Chain A
């Protein structure tokens, strides 16, 4: 029977020849990831009463939401997790200063491979579909079940195919594409479904850009999302793992629930912005008028990677952050931080007046490093703009691409990068 990527992976993980949508299967889990909420998982796991986790080599724990500890409460949580990790022999543990945001650290260190079933106690675990994994978010209690049994039930999702052909216009990025799609489909537009992105525009993208698509697919409700497992991806993975890499592809005659076709050059004329307070409230930049900005944030598991810092450095080189605006830059991982330092991006950004914060989630979830006051407006390269997400419930968050964030920091208002930089950027090589 022909199968989509999600169907193929679940069939294999549940020991069947084939599966079809709506079937419920119990799948073995290849990788189980948690961040600080490992503490909640730990508490539930201890209640179950089994002494050892099912397989410590398949658990990865990464501190990212509150690093370094911003309060005594968090310090205590971190400590409890460190002790648990040592007691259980969990070797894949990334402490403060050793990792970064979980969704960056996992692939960067070769933990994710095509064909895996990966669960994480974080909704943006869908990001790992960019590496060909069936990767999805679960809650802490359910993770305690995985730590106990190493398996989990799934309803096989039907698959939505999104084919994007053509070439992006200057300044248009993966972020603009996925915001446009979320705007079209709505916050529940892919609920419970798998999404397969494909087409020439996707295959030309860097791995970092593909991660943006799979990361934000969550914001339209996707259970999992995939970009192609091709040579671009395998080139990224080979130096990072000693394990065999198995290419995996949907069958040519796989059955899709529906297919959406887009032309990058025709359907995406200008940068897209998600307006307060929902990710599907998307408008083209030019429709927004004059929006003064108090804070600009560049970072997160969506857009805190080297190519994002590179384009921001290009926009900000020799310029200054507008006096009315604060720019906070957070590299997504320690490795990106070091690369950006070596390549001079951090120097350029700091010289322009950016504050460089340590690798981690930064202010994305509203706990530290750039909380918004009542009445303030922020433009951010992150993935959520819900009411009160980054601070006061009376603050406004606009989500946009790194280039728009950087341009807006210079202009002090939402701005198109072409209004700041006259030369057209060359395609980013990473």
Chain B
């Protein structure tokens, strides 16, 4: 995400199935890592170890429904963010993961057909506020849920902490 822009462009790194749980995204044994940058090292470590070394900055992870189900661990969203993922696109998200992602400033985009209409390597353009994804490689439009204005604001500020910082600095 650059300069508060609400359009993202990048390639699909991986297309995953349904119910990708938080232990798959970030194993519980590394929960004592509280340095957020360091969480990136363990992204998808048990089930898809090939994703992280290949992930380029700004690339997208696409998945079927219920991405991020399971634990409330914020490290799952942090690992994606600090490994460089530009957004996660899924048919649906588990609610805590969704909130964690937005609060950390990583867009979570709900698009029911994305997993069927994307393959690794495809280039996408995502308009977050409008809820539209263009698959430029295949020349198809994938409909997505527009991101709630509150979420757009958080994502473009870089997450909840920068948002609160700004708010409380302004108030004092």
Interface size on B, residues (CB 8 A): 40
CB distance B96 to A387 under 8 Å? no
Contact B46 A388 (CB under 8 A): yes
Q: Mark B15-26, 1 if CB is under 8 A from A, else 0.
A: 000010111100
B138 on the A face (CB < 8 A): no
The answer to whether A39 and B34 have CB atoms under 8 Å apart is yes
Q: How far, in whole Å, are A256 and B27 apart by their CA atoms in the complex?
A: 37
B150 and A153 contacting across the interface, CB-CB below 8 Å = yes
Nearest to B104 among chain A residues (CB) is: A141
Whether the pair A386, B96 counts as a contact (CB closer than 8 A) is no
Complex interface: chain A residues within 8 A of B71 (CB): 122-123, 365, 384
- For B108-151 the 0/1 string (1 means CB < 8 A from A) is 00000000000000000000000000000000000000001010
Asked if B47 lies at the interface with its beta carbon under 8 angstroms from chain A, I say yes
Are A48 and B161 closer than 8 Å at their CB atoms?
A: yes
Q: Does B72 contact A (CB under 8 A)?
A: yes
One digit per residue, 1 when the CB lies within 8 angstroms of any chain B CB and 0 when it does not, for chain A 390-411 equals: 0001000000000000000000
Contacting pair B103 A139 (CB below 8 A): yes
In the complex, which residues of chain A have a beta carbon less than 8 angstroms from the beta carbon of B95? 191-192, 221, 223
A37 touches B27 (CB 8 A): no
22 of the cross-chain contacts (CB-CB < 8 Å) are A40-B34, A40-B74, A48-B164, A49-B168, A65-B31, A73-B32, A139-B74, A141-B100, A141-B104, A141-B160, A142-B100, A144-B160, A187-B19, A191-B66, A191-B92, A191-B95, A221-B95, A366-B29, A367-B28, A386-B21, A386-B22, A389-B28
Query: Which 3 pairs from chain A and chain B are nearest by CB?
Result: A139-B100, A139-B74, A386-B23
Which A residues contact B (CB, under 8 angstroms)? 24, 36-37, 39-40, 43-44, 47-50, 65-66, 71, 73-74, 77, 120-123, 125, 137-142, 144-145, 148-149, 153, 187-188, 191-192, 221, 223, 278, 365-367, 384, 386-389, 393
**A-B contact sample (17 more), CB < 8 A, given A37-B73, A221-B66:** A40-B36, A71-B32, A74-B32, A120-B72, A123-B71, A137-B96, A139-B103, A142-B100, A187-B19, A188-B19, A365-B71, A367-B28, A384-B23, A387-B21, A388-B46, A389-B28, A393-B46
